[in-house]
A and B are shown apart, each in its own frame.
Chain A
């Protein structure tokens, strides 16, 4: 991760994309969210969704995984250039998570995250707080999920 001082409001992370399949939708839902419209085609067809849909939690945690992989690639590139890498986390939580449209079998969701606020931390002088909005968009260009997260990012130490 870049140091807190180098992060700007408007910075965009093109996090990556993921295709939801019959298998991965059901496997996730059987573990964490076994509502009929996430695990059973026939029941899903009878529901207001009309077909099997991914759990909203699945759509959210896929973003988290892609974001971790994205950060890892960014950190490796920075190290390769000889740049120091800042620590990130822990996250405090999230807000304004909206499931805007259902995610169906075969949908490919592209995720990106944009910095919307930076401010110093009062409790942790060596860190700042980064707020960012993440959005997942399906193959038709329709947003399906959006959320706002906040996390600590390390500040650059002054070298005497």
Chain B
């Protein structure tokens, strides 16, 4: 078992006092970020990224990935105690988590949420340990057309699996690509789309976009809703934890099913949010107590949390193995790799063994440490939400501003952050998804390069996308997903659709 050996080596890399400390710092900051409005996984990582430039890549990725686990855990706290989902994937957790808190069972709900998160992540990490090296190995044979077809698949699946108007998904994606194209063209050396502005020569940094779209945009949205927190307090004492843990094994079928749903949705860029809804819906349908879902059923917390965390973790698989991230946060981490001087892609497993296995080992440890941290510190984080918004809002804007400045040390970026903030606010209100834009901004250059190389090898003929069975089938799948909104309409015309399980919940939200 070469994988096990490599993993053990990874553990040896991770367990140094410095890295362990960074892990704790990452988790704690992550939970904080997950709890605070306006700071989420993606822009939390984006803001802290510049601070890691001086660290070794392994230490940096350990801290930042732990930040991500922390944010995933933290989302559950606000959902259960305040009925405010800290992250979109915790929306389904509020359905049963908040009623439980109202009945005074907040401790039980939180314990269940954290433990399920942990279990979901654990299954996903095991999957990554064994599947990622295989995928990377397979992808070593990839040429430019194969890579472009995978990029195509990534972006088309946003259209195929997304909710809402496919044109808005396309617009958001194309906007990302257009912004990525601004600046110097690395192939011909020409300046593109800069319109003579010196500031635009460097191009748009995706970190600025992430901080603006998710950070400032979120603050504006929260402000508009006139956010006032009125939450339940929670103390988790060991007795409640143990009592809840005794109940949890009963739901092993739900856990396994949710983990499977989450892993699948995480690898394909469907993402954690639909995964959590889908697994909640499945649990409601299949559970014996399904009718009582929504009134504070423990299983209703277990299902979405397991799936969301499994999806969030599984999203890192395509990032490590192929260099193609499955979520905005994974995209930011990928951008980090580039900054630390690592070339993302299948070669990572060959050339940067320490880094990759250190990262995978830190996923195991990070989640264990994370579980311990959140179980012991919930009252602390819950009390942070009691701080008035008029203190939190300016502080978060200051943090975003500093984060935007430190990326390139130019003030122009801070102004751009405000612009992206307004764009994020408008897009959110009008149901444009932000993830395709961020992914396109990060991957734009790489996707374009592989497209150009593919075109070059075939002298401009698109037929290169069908030059062998592998490229052909990936491209076909991508096109199928791209036109899925049309296809599903056609199917619906022939056969009337079944009743939508989640419609009621989505409206209730």
Q: Do A and B bind each other?
A: no
